[in-house]
Amino acid sequence: MLGDGSLERLKREGRIVVVGASLAGLRAAETLRAEGFEGSLTMIGDEPHEPYDRPPLSKQVLLGRAAADRTALPRLRSVDATWRLGVPATGLDMAAGRVRLADGDEVPYDRLLIATGVRARAWPREAEAELDGVFVLRTRDDSAALARRLEEGPKRVLVIGAGFTGSEIASACRERGLAVTVAERGAAPLVGALGGVVGAVAAEMQREHGVDLRCGVMVTALEGDASGRVRAAHLSDGSTVETDIVIVSLGAIRNTEWLAGSGLGAGPRGIACDAGCRAFDIRGIVTDDIYAAGDVARSPHPLFGYQFLSLEHWGNAASQARIAAHNMISESTDRIPHMEVPAFWSSQFGVNIKSVGVPSLGTEVLISQGALRDHRFIGVYGYQGRVIGAVAFDQARWLPFYQELIETTAAFPPPFPTVDRRSDGQRPVDADFPDPSVPTHGPTVTLGGYSPADRRMTFTPAH
Amino acid sequence: MVRIAVDLNRCQGYAQCAFLAPEIFTLHGEEALLYAPEADEAQRAKLAQAAAACPVQAILVDAVDVPAEAVSDAR
């Protein structure tokens, strides 16, 4: 393609199709136009809504401070696209360069960006999942329906799964004065993402705010009344929780089923792509016209031994999409790699939780500032003698410092003396992540090996 | 209407926005920010001030008028 004018032709009159009209899709479209793409741009989304922001859906909206249908993403520039919304993509013909849609239509492309993200994992028993009052929370419609029901003042809300979303929901419900039970299979909330030491703090926060938190239990069955409304949940410890609302927060599933049989390297772990966002085919050969970005993508990261990293993070979706868009319309020598340090936030029970790096890869944790008992601290995670991640509870301003330690692969435990001497101790302790072979809610960060379709592949920290 | 999103990875709780546009931005607890994802057109100037004053430039506001190119199943 070098120097033969084909790139200029692509930018002038090419056809770019973006499948996935959420944060990553929109930011990619804006970048394509900002970098001079003048051809036709088609945005395909399975939901009938224009791109909207998800973080408010489990916070402001559930608190009743914003309407679920008023969280559309700000537009940073005009994208002049053809929008095909409410029509999911159902297939990909790589040889012909066409995306098949649910309405039977086919859309041809010269360059394709896949940003189909993830969806909420549904309650596994279908009949129970369909009971009135059983919810998941991922989309704008989910959030609107749940907020409406919370408005009616249910007698009790049951949240299944205490990952970030489940914990935020529990927090919002308590703030509204609703009785809340949380059932978590692991030993503590957030344990998959942050480990047991920090998870214990999250458990304390929930209980102090009046959550009936039950760890180490599973919900075995949901029970409905004669009219099909959920009325109770049965737990593995033999107890029963009477409840009007059940919110299933068991993590997410990557939207790759529509790519089955296409020949693209897509599977339950996402779409494998190179650091420049170009997707691999199932033979492990990188394509030159298909790109992936956001929650659905997984790509090798130099900070983590070039293992494939997939992230369900807002910031990653935005930045990876910009890089994918840039690379889609650049010569190979002008392409840039996606190697941002992972970062995410959550706010729950009045505490601002932020993280950089990959705490779930850590084996040890050191409380370097503040104190666990104050719910105000920094935990630094170590992996094979280096700093791999950090989490801050109400200490966000320090995080850039720890990010730099991660970026420079600084030694763990960190060599500097703690900044304040009220620390919980200078010595690292076992971060207490759950045994990966025991099922629990997973971290929103996943590292894996090579084969994108290998279902046996699991996240295995080097304990 | 003006749409708003805050990059909360960037946000460090300086709360300049909460002083300049308290109807839109409030602190929730010690340092977590809660914001209205949409504001009235009348608040655009205030919002621009708040966005400009953010020390880490975390506030994203509509730069284009969207309805013109919104959405539908147009082909």
Cβ contact B32–A80 (<8 Å): no
Inter-chain residue contact B34 with A59, CB threshold 8 Å:
yes
What is the rounded average pLDDT of the residues A188-195?
96
CB-defined contacts A:B, below 8 A: 107
Q: Please indicate whether, in this complex, the C-beta atoms of B74 and A81 are within 8 angstroms of each other.
A: no
Are the C-beta atoms of A221 and A239 separated by less than 8 Å?
Answer: no
The mean pLDDT value for A135-159 works out to: 97
> Which residues of B are less than 8 Å from A86 in CB distance?
73
Q: What is the pLDDT of residue A459?
A: 47
Q: Give the pLDDT confidence score for residue A442 in this predicted structure.
A: 56
SS3 A10: helix
> For position A4, what pLDDT does the model report?
83
φ, ψ for residue A29 (rounded to 5)? -60, -45
Q: Which of B8, B29, B66 sits opposite A75 (nearest CB)?
A: B66
- pLDDT of the residue at A201: 98
Percent of chain A with pLDDT over 70: 91
The overall average pLDDT reported for chain A is 92
In chain B, whose CA is at the least distance from the CA of A65?
B36
Res. A17: pLDDT tops 50? yes
Whole-number pLDDT of residue A451? 42
Q: Given A70, A77, A351, which is nearest B37 (Cβ)?
A: A70
Across A82-94, average pLDDT:
97
Q: What is the pLDDT of residue A453?
A: 44
Please report which helix (H) or strand (E) contains residue A327, including its range: helix A314-328
pLDDT range class, residue A454, cuts 50, 70, 90:
very low
Contact A411, A405 (CB under 8 A): no
- Are B3 and A72 a contacting pair at CB < 8 A? yes
Contact B4 A376 (CB under 8 A): no
pLDDT at A422 over 70: no
Residue A302, pLDDT score? 81
Q: Does A81 touch chain B (CB under 8 A)?
A: yes
pLDDT value at residue A339: 86
Give the per-residue pLDDT at A424.
52
Contact residues, chain B, for A71 at CB < 8 Å: 37-38
Amino acid of residue B39 = A
Q: Considering only CB atoms, which chain B residues are within 8 Å of A354? A: 8-9
Strands, E assignment, A164-293? 180-184, 212-215, 219-224, 230-235, 240-242, 245-248, 252-254, 266-267, 270-272, 278-280, 286-292
pLDDT (average), residues B64-68:
64
Closest-CA residue in chain A for B63?
Answer: A76
> Measured on CA atoms in the order A183, A187, A192, A197, is the torsion positive or negative?
positive
Tokens, residue A168: 């935020």
Task: Nearest chain B residue to A351 by CA: give it.
Answer: B29
Distances (CA, A) of B71 to A32, A42, A73, A79, A305: 18, 11, 13, 12, 42
Give residue B47's identity as a one-letter amino acid code: L
Among the listed residues A162, A191, A166, A216, the one whose alpha carbon sits nearest the alpha carbon of residue A434: A191
**A:29-58 residues touching chain B, CB 8 A cutoff:** 49-50, 53, 55-56
Residue among B29, B30, B70 whose CB faces A50 most closely: B70
What whole-number distance in Å separates Cα of residue B35 and Cα of residue A393?
20
For chain A positions 360-389, those within 8 Å of chain B (CB to CB) are: 376
Section A185-203 average pLDDT? 96
Instruction: Please determine, for residue A55, whether its predicted confidence score (pLDDT) is greater than 60.
Output: yes
Q: Say whether A76 and B60 touch across the interface (CB within 8 A).
A: yes
Contact flag B28-A350 (C-beta cutoff 8 Å):
yes
Instruction: Give yes or no for residue A6 having a pLDDT over 80.
Output: yes
- The residue written with tokens 């993403």 in the block is A73
Q: What is the pLDDT confidence band of residue B73, given thresholds at 50, 70 and 90?
A: very low
Contact A86 B73 (CB under 8 A): yes
Give the model's pLDDT for residue A439: 55
Residue A448: pLDDT above 70? no
Q: Between chains, do B13 and A352 touch, taking CB under 8 Å as contact?
A: yes
Q: What is the pLDDT of residue B64?
A: 84
Per-residue pLDDT tens over the stretch B3-61:
999 999 999 999 999 999 999 999 999 899 999 999 999 999 999 999 999 999 999 99
Cβ–Cβ of B61/A74 closer than 8 Å? yes
Q: Which of B29, B64, B73 comes nearest A75 by C-beta?
A: B64
pLDDT band at A457 (very low <50, low <70, confident <90, very high): very low
Q: How many CB atoms lie within 10 A of CB A399?
A: 21
Q: Could you give the C-alpha distances from B22 to A56, A352, B34, B41, in angstroms and in order?
A: 18, 19, 10, 16
